[in-house]
Amino acid sequence: MAGRGWRKPGCRLSVYMVLVGVVVSLGAVQGGCSGGEDAEPVATTTTVVAEPSTTAPTPSTEAPATTEPATTPPATIAISAAASVYAEDLGGAPHQGHTLYFVVGAGIDSEEAARTLLDEVAPLFGDMQSYFIVQNSSNLDGMEPGRWVIVEAYRDEPSAENLDFARRAFPEAHVVEATVLTEDPIPVYEEIMGL
């Protein structure tokens, strides 16, 4: 019998135990039925074959562990309360998860220096309101991380006029498309202007 069920070590041991039990039982029955006191005793020999005991691993009933995708957003860099209040006062709201266009005016190593620069260039916009704020570039996926940036956000790609306006204060202003990772308020030009 070379079937698949007979090859399992646990089954083989069980079969041998049953066979040994049958042989022993037959010997007892033969001796008991031999017919009385005058009958010759029947010699019975029992041979037990010892099989090495191997314990097969028990199959696990637990489902294999699955790797769940990360559902927590990446860590963001906190901005100061003053920068947050300023952005909110300009009409900013959280845009976490939204992809926006940012006119990047400048990138600086510290938030304080970026806020100071923003205050200094405000008169260059004249009577027109700018919506530039200070934000950390690590909070905007699509920008080089680790810088404090002065940005103005747009839902649609900014026009040439919008870019010219930014260049009054920031001659190197350029546009970067990025996804917002933070819950900080960010004013978006079209939302503020009702477009």
- pLDDT score of 189 more than 90: yes
Q: Distances from the Cα of 32 to the Cαs of 19, 22, 27, in angstroms?
A: 20, 15, 9
pTM for the structure as a whole: 0.63
How many H-runs (helices) and E-runs (strands) does the chain carry? 5, 7
pLDDT score recorded for residue 55: 57
95 in Cβ contact with 180 (< 8 Å): yes
pLDDT score recorded for residue 2: 45
Tokens representing 123 are: 């008169």
Tokens representing 171 are: 């001659």
pLDDT score recorded for residue 62: 60
pLDDT score recorded for residue 11: 44
pLDDT score recorded for residue 7: 44
pLDDT score recorded for residue 24: 46
pLDDT score recorded for residue 43: 53
